[in-house]
C-alpha cells in the first residue's frame, strides 16, 4: 500500500492518510516494502502537519510569566534537548544561568548562542562529568567561589539505553549519570541554596517499571546487562532512585523552605535516544517517523512542566511531589516507600564518600 500525497499544502488530507496508514499498514503490514518505497518517494512537511496532529499529544503550556532577575540557576546537561530549551526560557526571564557540559567546546558554542538569542550576557557554561566524583567536587567548588547563593537547581542530564559501561568511580554509567552523580551534586550544593529556592529532578514514567529495588546491588556494574530488558530496567531503577531521594530530600529541606519537585516531561524527541537500537536502524526509524512525529513531544513541549515547577508561585507550598503536564500525579507505590528511601539515602552517602 502506498500513501498518496498529491499536494503538500493539503494538510487535512495528509492527516487522514496518516490515520488510514496507522490502522491498515502500520499494525497489519508492518514490514511492507511498498511502505519503504513511499517513505523514500515523498518529502513531507511535518512542521505544517504538527499544528494539527501534535496539539493533542504535546501537553499543556506553562502560562506563568514570573521574572527571574537576580536569580542564579544551575542546570545540568543543557547543551541540547529539554535542558537547552529550559536554559533559554529562564534566561529570557532575566536569570543568571550556569549550565554544564561534558564537551567544553560544544558548551561554549551553546553559551554564545544563548547569550545572543536571549540578549542576556549572564549565561555561563562550566565543565561537569557526572560520571566522575572528582569533576562534581571541582564544579561545586567553582560555584561556591563564584556565587553567593543558588536559587534553582535543575538536575536535567541523563542517559537512556546506554550500553553497559563502568564509570571511573566503579558504578554503572546509567545509574551514576541519572541518579548518583546528581545525588552528590545536590548534596554538595545544599549549603549554597537560598531560602525559598527550588530543586527539580527530571524523572520519568519509566519508574513504574521498577517493581522492586535491591539497594545493595542497584549501583553495581554488570558487563552482561546488555539486553533490551536489562537496559530498560537500569533506566527505570535510576529514575525510581531519583524519586526516592526527592522524597527524603523534601523532608530534610522543609525547615529551610527549599522545595523539591520531580518532573516527568513525557516522551521527548532528544538525543537521549541515541543508544536506542530501534531508532539507530534507518529503516525502523523511517517506519516510526510519522507516528513519533505525532505522539513524541518536542523539547519545547517537554520543557513546559519543568518551567512550571521552576517559576510558578502556585507551587510555593508544595514539595516532594511528582509532576506531569503541569499537575501533580501519583507515582508508583514503591517510590513512596519511606524505609526504602532511607536505605537508599544511607547507601548513596556511602557510595559517594559523604560518610
Chain centroid offset of residue 130 CA: 15
Dihedral of the alpha carbons of 307, 310, 311, 315, in degrees to the nearest 10: 110
For cell 536569570, name the residue.
Answer: 95
Spatial CA neighbour of 63 closest among 305, 270, 287: 305
Distance CA(116)–CA(132), nearest Å, equals: 31
Angle (CA) 132-134-139 rounded to 5° is 100
Q: With contact defined as beta carbons under 8 Å apart, do 13 and 45 qualify?
A: no
Cross-strand pairs, 303 = none
Is the Cβ–Cβ distance between 8 and 45 less than 8 Å? yes
179 CA to centre of own chain: 12
Q: Which residue has the cell 534566561?
A: 91
Which is nearest to 351 in space by CA: 277, 198, 246, 245?
Answer: 245
Q: Which of 35, 235, 245, 293 is catalytic?
A: 235
Using alpha carbons only, give the angle 175, 265, 139 rounded to the nearest 5 degrees. Answer: 50
293 in catalytic set: no
Q: What values do phi and psi take at 15, rounded to 5?
A: -60, -40
φ, ψ at 150 (rounded to 5°): -115, 130
Q: Residue 224: what are its φ and ψ, rounded to 5°?
A: -90, -5
Q: Which residues are catalytic?
A: 235
Amino acid at each position: 500500500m502506498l500513501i498518496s500525497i498529491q499536494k503538500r499544502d493539503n494538510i487535512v488530507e495528509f492527516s487522514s492518510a496518516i490515520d488510514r496508514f496507522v490502522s491498515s499498514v502500520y499494525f497489519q503490514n508492518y514490514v511492507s516494502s511498498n511502505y519503504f518505497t513511499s517513505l523514500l518517494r515523498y518529502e513531507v512537511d511535518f512542521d505544517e502537519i504538527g499544528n494539527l496532529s501534535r496539539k493533542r499529544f504535546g501537553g499543556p503550556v506553562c502560562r506563568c510569566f514570573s521574572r527571574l532577575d537576580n536569580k542564579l540557576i544551575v542546570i545540568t546537561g543543557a547543551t541540547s534537548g529539554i535542558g537547552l530549551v529550559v536554559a533559554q526560557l529562564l534566561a529570557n526571564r532575566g536569570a543568571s544561568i550556569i549550565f554544564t557540559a561534558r564537551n567544553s567546546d560544544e558548551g561554549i558554542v551553546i553559551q554564545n548562542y544563548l547569550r545572543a538569542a536571549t540578549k542576556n550576557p549572564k549565561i555561563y557554561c562550566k565543565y561537569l562529568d557526572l560520571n566522575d566524583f572528582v569533576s562534581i567536587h571541582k564544579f561545586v567548588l567553582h560555584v561556591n567561589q563564584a556565587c553567593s547563593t543558588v536559587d534553582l537547581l535543575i538536575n536535567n542530564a541523563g542517559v537512556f539505553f546506554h550500553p553497559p559501561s563502568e564509570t571511573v568511580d566503579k558504578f554503572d554509567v546509567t545509574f551514576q549519570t541519572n541518579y548518583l552523580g546528581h545525588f552528590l551534586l545536590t548534596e554538595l550544593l545544599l549549603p549554597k541554596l537560598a531560602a525559598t529556592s527550588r530543586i527539580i529532578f527530571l524523572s520519568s514514567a519509566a519508574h513504574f517499571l521498577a517493581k522492586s529495588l535491591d539497594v545493595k546491588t542497584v549501583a553495581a556494574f554488570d558487563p552482561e546487562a546488555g539486553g533490551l530488558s536489562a537496559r530498560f530496567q537500569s533506566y527505570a531503577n535510576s529514575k525510581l532512585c531519583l524519586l526516592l531521594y526527592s522524597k527524603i530530600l523534601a523532608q530534610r529541606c522543609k525547615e529551610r523552605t527549599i522545595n523539591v519537585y520531580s518532573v516527568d516531561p513525557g516522551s521527548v524527541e532528544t538525543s537521549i535516544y541515541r543508544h536506542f537500537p530501534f531508532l539507530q536502524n534507518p529503516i525502523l526509524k523511517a517506519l516510526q517517523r510519522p507516528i513519533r512525529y505525532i505522539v513524541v513531544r518536542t523539547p519545547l513541549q517537554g520543557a513546559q512542566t519543568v518551567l512550571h515547577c521552576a517559576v510558578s508561585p502556585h507551587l510555593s507550598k508544595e514539595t516532594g511531589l511528582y509532576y506531569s503536564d503541569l499537575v501533580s500525579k501519583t507515582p508508583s507505590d514503591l517510590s513512596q516507600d519511606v524505609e526504602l528511601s532511607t536505605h537508599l539515602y544511607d547507601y548513596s552517602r556511602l557510595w559517594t564518600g559523604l560518610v
